[in-house]
Chain A
């Protein structure tokens, strides 16, 4: 992520220190994660100590300080999905993407995460990709769904 892009986001919020979290969220959604250079730049431009920027960037789950892929895959492991075979769905997704929950592949294509309920238990087992829920998944269907993402 280049410095100009970060500066544009900071300018959009008038370099206001109280907009720190909003700025970090904007960078996160633009870049999928928060690189160290971005945090340093934000700290410098907002005149907020680097320690505080770091504290906030590591505190909230919405932020990531390690690289994340373009597509966020969430597999529901809640009770309803679990009894309908979420474990097998997860196994298949791990096999297809080559990554375990919490990991990101080298091409930065997918980041895999397990979650404990997506709030649509009737659709279980559920796989969510970039916020879109794919319900009633079978292990085979997951690979078809993943193929549609570039």
Chain B
């Protein structure tokens, strides 16, 4: 395995711990099938029969192939096996990441699985696989949320109850693109209730594999992956946040914490202004809220920072944007090994010297240490 880290200049010496709050694995259907519960044998046989399970079990489709210049579902250099803990630890060593909170890749399209029983079986298999292959080695630096099927909130609650107390489980991941109904709907109450009772934050990670059929519908009329991918993440986040706040999820689940992932930071101030404006103007439609939506965001929501976007033209603008967002709501994330990842320096070098040291340490790791209870 090539050691790419040698000789890299590091600037992160003043940060005690860098926590990557959105690190990915690149799981295959075959890997999941190996970990499927024996009780799900019949479903496993159906999935095995699919010549193209990404399309006939999941409904993944893109306008054009994802990330044509890089290995979208592989690793950064394509020189070691993907989907392994060795590959992940290699990335962590190269990029100076002390902790990684993992998310799936194919699993981000879990909401596109048409058969609810298959979705539940695949989620359970993923959890068994990720815990066994990545988390259970006792090192404590690789952590994971429980992946849950949004199609079946009652079964999701059972999965949460089953896995919540396992070492290394730090949240509940709801693959968040293509949710029907949207996540403010009471349909999801059993899922939120289980997360709240188990003191786990709910995490919402969008995915461009889930845009085939339902909102935000981009694949059908987008002619390129570039168009689809540019907007699926912020559109998903804005819609989901709007649904959850205006349907008063934070009031209905007062001890629940929320994490939004993969939409960057620039959309947050606009959305806060937009939601506060509608809260005041259309107040009879938001009786469940007791305060400005932005206050719930400040108090109970966190956002992983990647993708920051290209900020090189005016490097100081990123620090200004983070001041608008509220530094205490942000947590650094890399998205590694996906080819739109942000190394920690992409964030750190832009904000140090602009924000105070405490805010910088918070974004790079300390806030995540609290949210995911890593200490």
Check if A and B associate. Answer: no
User: Which residues of B are at the interface with A, using a C-beta cutoff of 8 A?
Assistant: none
User: Which residues of A are at the interface with B, using a C-beta cutoff of 8 A?
Assistant: none
